[in-house]
Amino acid sequence: MTEFDSKQAIESQRILDLLFSYMPKIAAERKMDNLLVLMADLGRSIVSADRCSLWLVDDERGELWTKVAHGVSELRIPKTAGFVGCSVTTGEALLIKDAYLDSRFDSRTDQKTHYHTKSVMTVPLKDSTGQVMGVFQAINKQGGTVDEFSEQDLERLRLTAVYSAKTVESAMLTAELEATQREIIHTLGEASEYRSQETGDHILRVAEISRKLAEYLGLPPDEVERIRLTAPLHDLGKIAVPDAVLNKPGRLTDEEYAVMKTHVDLGYRMLCNSKRKLLRYAADVARSHHERWDGQGYPLGLKGESIPLAARICAVADVLDALSCYRCYKAPWPEEKVKTEFAKMKGSQFQPEIVDALLEHWDDIYSCYRSQNATIDVDAIDYRR
């Protein structure tokens, strides 16, 4: 073995070790920001660069953006700026010995970050259709006798880019799906809000209060997020309730109340056939948010833990909001009366642990009503049945 060969063997081993140490971290990461930082770190180690960034194309804004490790915010540059922009436009890699001798160089980032760029490599990231979706950029070769990147470094960055492209593509798909789900939920929630003259913030408050309760109950973050996202849909079925009933300014007759109660099944039927897991989960919340812990609720009379947890939580948030705010049929109650009511309903209408969480963190949870109810009329007539 020549000295050159053995150096090569050591270098290959080093790269393999790097890949094996980064791969599990990258595979487990779901957030795009963190993925970009991880892959940039991997690229930087593989080619021994001082800096390395993974830039992604933002077509809507005509920009490239990246996230730097430990940086608070993302960096953005015009889509055509500098070597990175050049690689986006041509789809070709670049290997630059001295940036300042090249007319394509854009020194503005150097000026902003008080840095001196010398050697540069850029490699485009292509998705499965061949579209350029970003650029891998390595700056300033480190650690050797030369301060330039070699053809071999470029080849290594290319391989890292191919691997990164696949990871980014599937992360973008996941992000896109989740964003779509969120948007659907938001739109549906707004639609039901629009129909029933409840105040614009009602749905957001129920979602936010449900999230807080779920958090205080110590549920895992995924479950908390699911509850936050699906709570806004609990009254979706009200969309299909006739206006005369839905917005009646006063007490409902028994017949009208029977019609009103159908909103739980209506909401369930609107959501339960969705292909989206999150919306099927919302269907259960819509169906069960008027069940009671003691089994006296509707539509099924489910009791205790046979009521889905998210629905048990949403029920508390929903009633807290109904009592604390104006409804077409009632004035807001004073704070103390609401609090006493919950203490009374603990164990009958609501699961004791959830009421405990509410009462224990009352100030934090109730704070959203403080300003708006500053001037409630304590003797306001309550039209409720």
Which residues form the catalytic set?
A: 238
Does 217 participate in binding ligand C2E (rule CB under 6 A)?
no
The residues of the shown chain that bind ligand SIN, judged by CB under 6 A, are: 178, 181, 222, 225-226, 277-278, 349, 385
Site residues (CB under 6 A) for ligand C2E, limited to 318-337 = 318-319, 322-323, 327-330
Shortest Å, Cβ 214 to Fe ion: 17
User: Could you tell which of ligand C2E, ligand SIN, Fe ion, none binds residue 380, using a CB distance below 5 to 8 A set by kind?
Assistant: none
Contact 239, 373 (CB under 8 A): no
Distances in whole angstroms, Cα of residue 91 to Cα of each of 54, 119, 132 = 15, 20, 7
User: Could you tell which of ligand SIN, ligand C2E, Fe ion, none binds residue 225, using a CB distance below 5 to 8 A set by kind?
Assistant: ligand SIN
Burial 296-317 (b: 16+ CB within 10 A, else e): ebbeeebeeeebbbbbbbbbbb
> Rounded to an integer, what distance in angstroms lies between the CA atom of residue 53 and that of residue 281?
39
Does 248 participate in binding ligand C2E (rule CB under 6 A)?
yes
User: Could you tell which of Fe ion, ligand SIN, ligand C2E, none binds residue 277, using a CB distance below 5 to 8 A set by kind?
Assistant: ligand SIN
Determine which helix (DSSP H) or strand (DSSP E) holds 138, and give its type and residue range: strand 132-141
The residues of the shown chain that bind Fe ion, judged by CB under 5 A, are: 235, 318
Place of tokens 């959203």: 368
Place of tokens 């000026």: 111
User: Could you tell which of ligand SIN, Fe ion, ligand C2E, none binds residue 278, using a CB distance below 5 to 8 A set by kind?
Assistant: ligand SIN
Sign of the dihedral through C-alpha 108, 109, 112, 116: negative
Shortest Å, Cβ 322 to ligand C2E: 3
> Rounded to an integer, what distance in angstroms lies between the CA atom of residue 82 and that of residue 103?
9
Question: Which C-beta is closer to ligand C2E: that of 179 or that of 328?
Answer: 328
Shortest Å, Cβ 196 to Fe ion: 9
Shortest Å, Cβ 380 to ligand SIN: 18
Closest CA to 284 of 306, 258, 317: 306
Where on the chain is the footprint of ligand C2E (CB under 6 A)?
248, 251-252, 260, 290, 318-319, 322-323, 327-330, 341, 382-385
